[in-house]
Amino acid sequence: MKILVIGSGGREHALCWKFEQSKHTTDLYCAPGNAGIAEVATCVKGNLNDVEGLAELAEKIGADLTFVGPEAPLVAGIAEAFAAKNLRIVAPSKTAAQLEGSKIFAKEFLARHRIPTAQFAACDSRDAARQARHSGFQFPVVVKADGLAAGKGVRIVQDQQEFDEALHALMGERVFGEAGARIVLEECLFGREASLMIFTDGSAYQIIAPAQDYKRAYDHDEGLNTGGMGSFSIDGLIDEALLERCKREIIEPTLQGLNEEGYPFCGVLYIGLMFTEAGPKVIEYNARFGDPETQAILVRLESDLVEICEAIVEKRLAAFDVKWSAEASVCVVAASGGYPGEFEKGKEIHGIEEASQVEGVTIFHAGTTFNEDAQVITNGGRVLGVTARARTRQEARSRAYEALGKIQFERMHYRRDIAD
């Protein structure tokens, strides 16, 4: 089978790495890919916002199956563009992808189906936001851009001054563009977070090994929110009783609600959870695999990913038994200095080869490319996801950090407390 992966990050490198191992894969393509993906797949040009162009590309290369990594093409309607050409794709419809594309859509959906989540107010001006805050929320309060902001559109503000600054940045300066035209205020929840993802064909679902993401830029959860600075996945991250509760109170009502409203979800649904004293609550939905959770998750996946994808598109996931390794995994992201703010690109990266020799370690590239001398250079905020598997979390963690110690590029930055 010819497989096409859409995207260019660490998640897509992990997807390509896993697809490449399938006995069903004869040809693997990635649009647009990165320097690491180029080692396992044929990288082809592709614009993530041009879903018609991506469908034409899939048709041209004769892709039997396409898998979408990032949110932009999902929200732009890639499922519909592929369906129009009778091409097989693992992707939710444009409407179902609104669970990620609009925080207001997601919050209103959660409220309609009485799925536990933080109290919220949707606001379309700074005045409305100030009024809503004054009448309904105490500090700290969470301020979120309604639209897509690469995981960076969320501020937890402690007082009026920070609140005004957040409103100014999101709605005044529009640092995330039109994503900040409307905002959501949320009650601030407290508790442990986990990312729970499922494979779903619209009715049946299979739980994906849970992972924990580290969103803040610096150790001890300091600094701004990023797309994710590291992750780990272990058995028992969410214990059986809690998982049952998540299924009953969150996953099943979500799938049922989507069905009732006429847009069943097909693909990978990501549910960001907070385990509060009052039980598990939904923080966000994503319509796709998380990044960097996927890097930690896929090294634990023992089933064939092509077979899982076929079961999703053919709606026979109920009978599919997804198998996971009992081992633990840890992914530590090496980022460009300055990320998630401004950073420079084009720095030569050294030591990848040596690092990948460390037992149990796989290096997934994110923002990398080649310079004119075919050397691997940095090309984004998150550069590499150094991922290790081992019997225990501690062992996986020490393998990942041992490998990271062999990698250098100018102003490389990484958290030292991932999976601690």
Tokens of 31: 């649009």
Closer CB to ligand GLY, 102 or 286, in the complex: 286
Return the residue of 213, 304, 310, 327 that touches ligand GLY, per CB under 6 A.
213
Q: How far is the CB of 225 from ligand AMP (least distance, A)?
A: 5
> How far is the C-alpha of 290 from the C-alpha of 70, rounded, in Å?
9
Q: Does the bond joining 73 to the residue before it have cis omega, within 30 degrees of 0?
A: no
Q: What is the DSSP string of 9-40?
A: SHHHHHHHHHHHT-TT-SEEEEEE--TTGGGT
Return the residue of 283, 308, 388, 396 that touches ligand AMP, per CB under 6 A.
283
Closer CB to ligand GLY, 58 or 269, in the complex: 269
Cβ-based burial of 302 (10 A; exposed 0-12, middle 13-18, buried ≥19)? exposed
Q: How far is the CB of 292 from ligand GLY (least distance, A)?
A: 6
* Contact characters 131-170, ligand GLY, x per CB under 6 A: --------------------x-------------------
> How far is the C-alpha of 416 from the C-alpha of 334, rounded, in Å?
10
> How far is the C-alpha of 334 from the C-alpha of 316, rounded, in Å?
38
Return the residue of 291, 304, 310, 327 that touches ligand GLY, per CB under 6 A.
291
Q: How far is the CB of 152 from ligand AMP (least distance, A)?
A: 8
Query: Is 400 among the residues that bind ligand AMP (CB under 6 A)?
Result: no
Query: Is 154 among the residues that bind ligand AMP (CB under 6 A)?
Result: yes
Query: Is 193 among the residues that bind ligand AMP (CB under 6 A)?
Result: yes
Query: Is 284 among the residues that bind ligand AMP (CB under 6 A)?
Result: yes
Interacting positions 78-117 with ligand GLY (CB under 6 A): none
Q: How far is the CB of 139 from ligand GLY (least distance, A)?
A: 25
Query: Is 286 among the residues that bind ligand GLY (CB under 6 A)?
Result: yes
Of 41-49, 162-170, 286-294, 305-313, the segment contacting ligand GLY by CB under 6 A is 286-294
**DSSP H or E stretch at residue 373:** none
Q: How many CB atoms lie within 10 A of CB 240?
A: 8
Tokens of 84: 């129009």
Query: Is 215 among the residues that bind ligand AMP (CB under 6 A)?
Result: yes
Return the residue of 44, 128, 181, 188 that touches ligand AMP, per CB under 6 A.
188
Query: Is 272 among the residues that bind ligand AMP (CB under 6 A)?
Result: yes
> How far is the C-alpha of 60 from the C-alpha of 45, rounded, in Å?
12
Q: How far is the CB of 131 from ligand GLY (least distance, A)?
A: 30
Closest CA to 11 of 286, 400, 360: 286
**DSSP H or E stretch at residue 395:** helix 393-404
Q: How far is the CB of 179 from ligand AMP (least distance, A)?
A: 11
Of 16-24, 62-70, 181-189, 296-304, the segment contacting ligand AMP by CB under 6 A is 181-189
Provide the residue count of the chain.
Answer: 420
Helices (H), ranges, 113-266: 126-136, 160-167, 240-246, 252-260
> How far is the C-alpha of 99 from the C-alpha of 92, rounded, in Å?
10
Q: For residue 222, which amino acid is it?
A: E
Residue 142 interaction partner, one of ligand AMP, ligand GLY, none, beta carbon < 5-8 Å per kind: ligand AMP
**In the Cβ-directed half-sphere of 185, how many Cα atoms lie within 13 Å?**
27
Contacting positions for ligand GLY (CB under 6 A)? 151, 213, 227-228, 286, 290-291, 293
Contacts with ligand AMP, residue ranges (CB under 6 A): 118, 142, 144, 151, 154, 156, 186, 188-189, 193, 215, 225, 272, 283-284
